[in-house]
Each structure stands twice: as C-alpha cells, then as structure tokens.
A and B are shown apart, each in its own frame.
Chain A
Amino acid sequence: MFKRITFLPLTIVFAVSVLFAIYLWQIGPGGKDISTLPSAMIDKPVPEFDLAPIEGRKLGLKSGDLKSGLSLVNVWASWCPPCRVEHPFLMELAEKGVTIYGINYRDKPADALRFLRNLGDPYKRIGADTTGRVSIEWGIYGYPETFLVDQTGRIRYRHVGPISSEVIENVFDSLMEKISKK
C-alpha cells in the first residue's frame, strides 16, 4: 500500500483542479455572479412590519398589505444609482398592471419625493424605512433588491441589483405566470 500512496497527492491536486475548472466555467461569461447571495427568506412569509409613508405621501406599507395578491416589493433609495437604472423597468411593469410596493431605504423625504416626481411613481404603496430595521427583517444587503411575493404573503423570489428587461422576461414573467396559475 505504500507504493500506491505516492499517487495520492497527484489525485488530490487533479481533483482540486477539476473543481476549479468547473467553478471557473460556472462563473465565466454569462455564468453566475458569485457575489450574489441566495435569500434565506425564500418560501417564508413576509416578515412582520409596519412602515409609515414617506413624509408628504399618504400610503405606508405593512405586512398585511402584501397578502392581497401577487406583488413585487422593491427596495430603493434616491441616492442609489442602480435604482435609477432600473426605474424605467419598474414603470413598465406597473403600466402592465403588476402591483409594486416600495420600501424606501434610509432616504431624505424630499429627495425621495423628487426622485418619484422626476422619474415616475410605479409604487402602489411605499413604506419609509428610515432606520434600516425593516430592511434587516427582509434580509436585504444590497440596493436595489426586488422580491416576488405571492398572494398568501410568501416570498417566492429575490433579485439583487437592478432589474432589466432580461430579468423581467427570463425570471419574473414565468414565475408570476406559474404562481398565479396555482
């Protein structure tokens, strides 16, 4: 057995190299983004929360609001550049009739209102998370993030980063169709 053992290091190095190759391929062009984390909240009910509206608006957001039908919950802030990038797509979705709720993360009310005035308002309701506490309840780590919540108030999907037409076509459309069929 001491003769065969000299092959052990080679075997290990070979196995590790194969693993690296697989991983390089996985994260290669068009592959997965290794900095994106899966949400720990998938298939869990939305957390309990009750947020006041942005100062100067009427409707706030609480967990009960999310149980009345399929919806998207978008976390945004006026100071976050990618949020501006994704905003037209949110507008598009809202025009198509998708219910979108907003959580406005650590924003100045005046800035947030100006943002909506200039770029349009796709949100049915917006809760102002001034302390960041509710964002923690949702397990949010990057801005923007968009959650898909089903009619029973369960989180079904999370997208980190700005949504784009590809994300809508490839992910949200099919998911929403699948969930609403049930």
Chain B
Amino acid sequence: MKTVIFLLFFLVTPALAIQPDEILEDKVLEERARVISKELRCLVCQNQSIDDSDAPLAKDLRVLVRERLQAGESDEKVIEFVADRYGDFVLLRPPVKASTLTLWISPIVILIVGVIFLLMRFRKQEKNMPVKVPPLSSEETKKLEAALGEDKR
C-alpha cells in the first residue's frame, strides 16, 4: 500500500517525461542533459526527477538545462543555476553543507562505530577465554573429514 499511495498522489498524470522535440542532436550533450535531469527534482510533483515528469515546469527545466549545456556551461554550473533560483530542495542529491553533514557522514560513522563495538566485544570475550584453540590445518581437516566419512556430511 505504501508504494501505492505515493504513486497515487504524486504521479496523478502518468508521466511521459522527456518529449521527442526536446532531444538534442548532439549525443554527448544529450547524455549529459539526461544525467543532470536525474539530479534535479520536479518541484510540483514532489518525488520525481524532472527527467521522469511531464509537468510543464519540468519540461521548461529540461529545455533550460539543454540550452545552457549548448551554450557551453559545465554540468556543475547548470545545476548551480537551477539551485540558485529554487534552493537546495531542487537537488535530489543534497549538497554537503553544515545542515546536511550529519546525513552524509553518518553512513561511514555508523559502520565504524559498529566495527569498533564488535571489536571491543570480541576482545572482551578473548580475555575471558585464556586458551586459544588454533583452527584446524587443511591437512587436519582432510583427516577429520575422512574419519567422519559419510555420517557427518
């Protein structure tokens, strides 16, 4: 149902997204435009990129992106141009700044904290286990397997 509801309200008109007349002749520029379009949020349809939306504003933005690329601007400049006018909300990849730092560093921090926690747990356990049993060597394993034969496996 969750998926249902989201699609239900945001995509009320099934999108046809990019139209034939918008596509650039220059394949490299067009490819760049597609990549940029996937990074920009369609503001009126809430949760789609402008590449996926057929809202008029999304179309205007797609055309704008292509025009600026044709004028020779870099990808970053084009994205910056749109973000300057619409704010960070238009960026599907939140920019790294003070307010989003937590978001960006948390994956690695959580992972590291998890690893440290596990290591500490393990060391604590080692302390409680004075005798270390070395793992079986491959030869020993073979012997063991032979001895156990059919029953074990």
Q: How many A-B residue pairs have CB under 8 A?
A: 39
A139 & B85 in contact (Cβ 8 Å cutoff): yes
Main secondary structure of the interface of B (DSSP, over half): helix
For A35, A132, A135, A138, which residue has the most chain B Cβ atoms within 10 angstroms?
A: A132
Q: With A136-B60, A136-B61, A136-B64 in contact, do A40 and B43 touch (Cβ < 8 Å)?
A: no
Chain A residues positioned under 8 Å from B135 (CB to CB): none
The count of residues in chain A whose C-beta lies closer than 8 Å to any C-beta of chain B is 18
Closest partner residue, chain A, to B121 (CB atom): A2
* A37 lies within 8 A of B87 (CB): yes
> For A133, what are the chain B residues with a Cβ–Cβ distance below 8 Å?
60, 64
Closest to B46 in A: A35
Note all chain B residues with C-beta closer than 8 A to A47.
Answer: 85
Closest CB-CB distance, A93 to chain B, in whole Å?
Answer: 26
Q: Closest approach, in angstroms, between the C-beta of A58 and any C-beta of chain B?
A: 27
Decide if the interface of chain A is mainly helix, strand, loop or mixed.
Answer: loop
Binary A-proximity of B78-95 (CB < 8 A = 1, otherwise 0):
000011111111000000
CB <8 Å contact, B44 and A141: yes
Q: How far is the CB of B82 from chain A (nearest CB, A)?
A: 8
Within 8 A of A (CB), among B17-58: 43-44, 46, 56-57
Residues of B within 8 A of A35 (CB): 46
Q: Of A40, A132, A137, A138, which is within 8 A of B56 by CB?
A: A132
**A residues whose Cβ falls under 8 Å from a Cβ of B:** 35, 37-41, 47, 106, 131-133, 135-139, 141-142
